[in-house]
DNA sequence: AAATATTTTTAGGTAAACCTAAAAATTAAA
DNA sequence: TTTAATTTTTAGGTTTACCTAAAAATATTT
C-alpha cells in the first residue's frame, strides 16, 4: 500500500475516532475518502496486518500507537504547509486545503522539521487548528462552538470546524476571522439563528449551521 | 496514467532528447527511470495516444509541443523547489534532489507561480541549471565543460552535469562551488586529469571524470 | 549477404487500489 | 422475537504500472 494511500486512511480513521471514541466505521471511512465500503474493508485488512490499526471483523477500527503516530505526522505536515501557503505565499485560507492535501504526503522528516523552523514553529494553522509538535503533542485548546455562547455573551474566534471554500469565503465576507471578538446579540427562537456583532461593530445574522462551525473561547 | 508517472516519462524523454537529437530510445528511458524496457514500450503507446510524444514502432520517440511543455513545467517546478530548499530551508546542494523529485509533481499552477515570486523569480537553481520561466523559456547559457578549458586558462564555475550526492560532496570538500574561478595549472598526459587552482588559492587534482562534470564559462 | 548481436515489442502475469453485486452479520423495529 | 433494515464482508472484475520470457524487428559483424 503506497504511503500516500496509507496516510489518507490513517488520517480519516484518526479524524473519525476523535468524533466517535469507539473508533471508525467502514462506511464512515468510505464516505470520508470518497470511496466504496468494500474497498475500505480490503484496505483495513492490510493496515491491520501492518500493525497500524486494531481490527476485528464487523467492528469499528482504532489506530495502534504506530498508526496514530503516522496520522499525527501527516496532520503536522498538512498544517505546516498550510501556514507556509498563507504566511509565505500569500494564499487565502479558503484556497489552501487541496494543495496541503498533496504536500502533506511528501515524506522527509528533515524537510518537515526545517519547514517548521522556517515558519517559526507555529502552534496553529490558518484555520486555527493546532499543529502537533515533532513528538506528536498538540497544544491544548478547549474551544467551544459559537452556538454554545449565551445571549449577550462575548467570545474570541479561534477556529472553524468546516474547511470548505464556500464556508470560509462566507466568513470572509461577513468579516469573521481568527482573533476577532463576537458578541451574541440575539438568538432567534424559531430557527436558532443568531444575531452577532463582529468586534463590536458590524451586526449580522448567522444560521445555526454556520454558528455551529465557528469555534471560540 | 497518473500525472506523476507521466511527468517522469516526459522528463526522461526531454533529457535524453537534449543529448541525442534523434530522440529517446526505449532502453535509455528504461535505464533513466529504473524500470524495464517492456514497461516503457507499454507506457510509450499511452503517451502517444494522448498526443504527448511522437512514436513509431522501433524508432526513438520525441516530445510533441504539448509533451515538451509538460516536461518543461515539471523541470521548472523541480528547480524552483530546489532553490526553496537551499535558500529558505538551508539544505545543501547535495541533499535536495530526492525532495525536489517529489515536490515537482505537485500540480497547482498558482502555487508554482507564487513560489517563483516568493523566491524572487530565480533564473538558476542551486546546481547552476537554468529555470525555465512560466512560458517555458530558458535563460541562454552556453557553458563548457572544465575539460574544455585550455592549459593556463581560467574559467568561472557555473554548473554541474551530475547531481549525485557523492559528486557534489566531493566538490564541496575541495572548495568548488558556483561562481568560483578555476585555473588549469597542469594537464596530466597519462590520464588527462588536471591540476587546478580554486580562486587562485588551493591547488588540487581532478580526474577527467570529475572535470567533465563541471561546467564553466 | 548471412550470421550474430542488440533492441524493441508482444504475450502473459502480478499487486495495488479501486469497483459492483450479492451474501453474511449485525442492529433496529415491529 | 421474528422481521426488516442497515452495515460489513466476500466474490469476482477492472485499470494501472510494473514484471519476465520469448518473439520479432533492427543493427552490426563477419
Q: Return the H-helix or E-strand segment holding B204.
A: strand B203-206
CB < 7 A contacts with chain D (nucleic strand): A 25-28, 37-38, 40-42, 44-45, 55, 57-60; B 1-2, 5-6, 34-36, 38-39, 42-43, 46, 57-58
- Mean per-residue pLDDT for A19-35? 97
What are the two backbone dihedrals, phi and then psi, of residue A216, each rounded to the nearest 5 degrees?
A: -140, 175
Nearest one of B108, B107, B110, B112 to B81, comparing CA atoms: B112
Predicted confidence (pLDDT) per residue in B165-216, tens digit: 999 999 999 999 999 999 999 999 999 999 999 998 889 999 999 999 999 9
Instruction: Residue A155: count other Cβ atoms within 10 Å of its Cβ.
Output: 22
The three cell numbers locating residue B59: 524508432
Distance CA B37, CA B51 (A): 21
Place of cell 507561480: B113
Distance CA A27, CA A17 (A): 13
Nearest chain B Cα distance for residue A118, angstroms: 6
For residue B5, CA distances in Å to A203, B33, B40, B63, B72 come to 52, 10, 11, 16, 15
- Mean per-residue pLDDT for A135-147? 94
State percent of chain B over pLDDT 70: 100
Distance CA A214, CA A177 (A): 10
The answer to whether B99 contacts chain A (CB < 8 Å) is yes
Domain covering A144-216, topology:
SH3 type barrels. (2.30.30)
Q: Length of chain A, please?
A: 217
- Mean per-residue pLDDT for B140-144? 90
Residues 6+ apart with CB under 8 A from B140: none
Predicted confidence (pLDDT) per residue in B40-90, tens digit: 999 999 999 999 999 999 999 999 999 999 999 999 999 999 999 999 999
Query: For chain D, which bases have at least one atom within 7 A of a protein Cβ?
Result: 7-12, 16-22, 25-26
Predicted confidence (pLDDT) per residue in B88-132, tens digit: 999 999 999 999 999 999 999 999 999 999 999 999 999 999 999
Beta bridge pairs of residue A215? A145, A159
Position A141 confidence tier, pLDDT thresholds 50, 70, 90? confident
Q: Does residue B20 have a pLDDT over 90?
A: yes
What are the two backbone dihedrals, phi and then psi, of residue A190, each rounded to the nearest 5 degrees?
A: -60, -50
Distance CA B83, CA A131 (A): 26
Beta bridge pairs of residue A155? A182
Query: What sections of B119-194 are H helices per DSSP?
Result: 165-173
Position A171 confidence tier, pLDDT thresholds 50, 70, 90? very high
Is A27 (CB) below 7 Å from strand C? Answer: no
pLDDT at position A114 is 98
Give CATH 2.30.30.90 domain extents, chain B: 144-216
The burial class, CB within 10 Å (0-12 / 13-18 / 19+), for B27 is exposed
Distance CA A39, CA A30 (A): 8
Architecture (CATH level 2) of domain A3-63: Orthogonal Bundle (1.10)
CA nearest B115 in A: which residue?
A89
Q: Give A72's DSSP letter.
A: H
Q: Give B35's DSSP letter.
A: S
Give CATH 1.10.10.10 domain extents, chain A: 3-63
pLDDT at position A216 is 96
Residues 34-73 of A with CB under 8 A from B: none
State percent of chain A over pLDDT 70: 100
pLDDT at position B141 is 87
Distance CA A24, CA A15 (A): 8
Amino acid at each position: 500500500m503506497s504511503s500516500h494511500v496509507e496516510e489518507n486512511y490513517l488520517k480519516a480513521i484518526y479524524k473519525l475516532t476523535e468524533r466517535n471514541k469507539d473508533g471508525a466505521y467502514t462506511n464512515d471511512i468510505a464516505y470520508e475518502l470518497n470511496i466504496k465500503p468494500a474497498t475500505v474493508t480490503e484496505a483495513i485488512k492490510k493496515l491491520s496486518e501492518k500493525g497500524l490499526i486494531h481490527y476485528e471483523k464487523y467492528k469499528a477500527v482504532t489506530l495502534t500507537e504506530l498508526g496514530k503516530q503516522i496520522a499525527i505526522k501527516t496532520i503536522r505536515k498538512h498544517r505546516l504547509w498550510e501556514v507556509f501557503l498563507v504566511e509565505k505565499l500569500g494564499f487565502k485560507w479558503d484556497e489552501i486545503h487541496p494543495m496541503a492535501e498533496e504536500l502533506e504526503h511528501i515524506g522527509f522528516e528533515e524537510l518537515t522539521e526545517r519547514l517548521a523552523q522556517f515558519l517559526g514553529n507555529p502552534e496553529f494553522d490558518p484555520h486555527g487548528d493546532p499543529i502537533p509538535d515533532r513528538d506528536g503533542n498538540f497544544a491544548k485548546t478547549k474551544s467551544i462552538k459559537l452556538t454554545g455562547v449565551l445571549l449577550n455573551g462575548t467570545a474570541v474566534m479561534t477556529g472553524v470546524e468546516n474547511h470548505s471554500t464556500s464556508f470560509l469565503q462566507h466568513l470572509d465576507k461577513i468579516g469573521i476571522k481568527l482573533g476577532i471578538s463576537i458578541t451574541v446579540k440575539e438568538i432567534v427562537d424559531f430557527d436558532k439563528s443568531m444575531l452577532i456583532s463582529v468586534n463590536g461593530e458590524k451586526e449580522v445574522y448567522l444560521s445555526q449551521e454556520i454558528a455551529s462551525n465557528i469555534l471560540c473561547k
